[in-house]
Amino acid sequence: MAPLLTPWQGDAIHGATAAAVAASVANPQSLDFAARPSGTWMGLRRRQRIGQYRIEGRLGEGGFASVYKAYDTVEGIHVAIKAPHDYLVDRETLTSFRQEVRLVAPLDHPNVLPIKTAGVIDGRFVIVTPLGIESLAERMRRRMARKTVLSFAEQLLEGLATAHKRRIIHCDVKPENLIIFAENRLRLADFGLARVALRSLDASGSGTVGFLAPEQALGKPSLRSDVFAAGLIVYRLMSGELPEWPFRWPYKGIKKVRRAYGPGLVDLVRKATAVDDQKRFKDAVHLLRAFRRIESTAIRD
């Protein structure tokens, strides 16, 4: 059996070879770590230039990185730039990024977010990706049709199954890492970056459990951990409720779910989110296969 992989960034490397992108993660010696006071962080400013990109504003901020909207002055398009906080980026982190980017280069799928650049630009480590419309977390704040719910669920499972076929674990499947593009195209972002981020945040004493499966919270992630997170997201799409520990079935909102969706989909979510990981689907490939078997009867008339 092939070993499980926790990669750097589960994004297809469009327009570049794996070696080229890995090489773009510049030599850690190009960053002056000694010059940085511990715990400091300098964010990017509006109208600031970083290489060919002009910052237009901050889109969001987390414990590990900030995300900015920027304009690519060479290609003439808008992009998203993720900039990890300076005090969380060290030589070991950059080395991990460089090694792991090679693992995910073969991931080329419409439901996996591609990267444009990953490396040190003007002394800052940044990750550049296409700019989406919004995250699934933002979209969830508004009502959506049941057909849209099923479409988002299937696209999530498609992207995750693409990685699981290569035995790559995402480690941080959550609505914030699902980006929506035109025509409701959903793309899964931040493969592998999640592992490095979680390690760094744990070391810094910050970060939240979020959608982590129980065994992953204990430091034992597997493909089944991603299945658990995906199941929680699908249930939240269906019900508007997020199940919480100790994850006792039936979850809050189950009556609403049963009125709107067929028993096959309800049973699928229950199995995907079992506390005992051995009772779940073994990976997203099997979860997607089961989803497709019941999809035609998933919506009640």
Q: Residue 286 is part of a domain; what is its CATH number?
A: 1.10.510.10
Domain end (from 100, 130, 160): 130
Cβ–Cβ under 8 Å, residues 216 and 171: yes
Instruction: Let me know whether 142 and 209 are in one domain.
Output: yes
pLDDT at 91: 77
- Kindly list the catalytic residues: 172
| 48, part of any domain | yes
Could you say which residues of the chain have pLDDT below 50?
A: 5-41, 203-208
Domain end (from 71, 100, 130): 130
As a whole number of angstroms, the longest Cα–Cα distance in the chain is 64
pLDDT at 248: 94
Look at residue 264 and give its three-state secondary structure: helix
Q: Residue 38's domain spans which residues?
A: 18-130
Instruction: Let me know whether 52 and 197 are in one domain.
Output: no
- CATH number of the domain to which 40 belongs: 3.30.200.20
- DSSP state letter for 4: P
CA-closest candidate to residue 13, choices 111, 94, 104 = 104
| 53, part of any domain | yes
Quick: pLDDT tens for 67-100.
999 999 999 999 999 888 877 777 777 776 666 5
Q: Determine the straight-line distance between the first and last CA of the chain, rounded to whole angstroms.
A: 44
Domain end (from 130, 155, 185): 130
Task: Specify the number of domains making up the chain.
Answer: 2
Helix, strand, coil % (nearest 5) of the chain?
A: 40, 20, 40
pLDDT at 65: 81
| 11, part of any domain | no
Report the b/e string of 212-226 with b at 16+ CB within 10 A: bbbbbeeeebbbbbb
DSSP string, 98-113: HHHHHHHTT---TTB-
Instruction: Let me know whether 93 and 143 are in one domain.
Output: no
Instruction: Quote the CA–CA distance of 54 and 291 in Å, as a whole number.
Output: 42
pLDDT at 88: 72
pLDDT at 200: 56
Q: Is 103 exposed, middle or buried (0-12, 13-18, 19+ CB in 10 A)?
A: buried
Instruction: Let me know whether 283 and 159 are in one domain.
Output: yes
Instruction: Quote the CA–CA distance of 111 and 77 in Å, as a whole number.
Output: 21
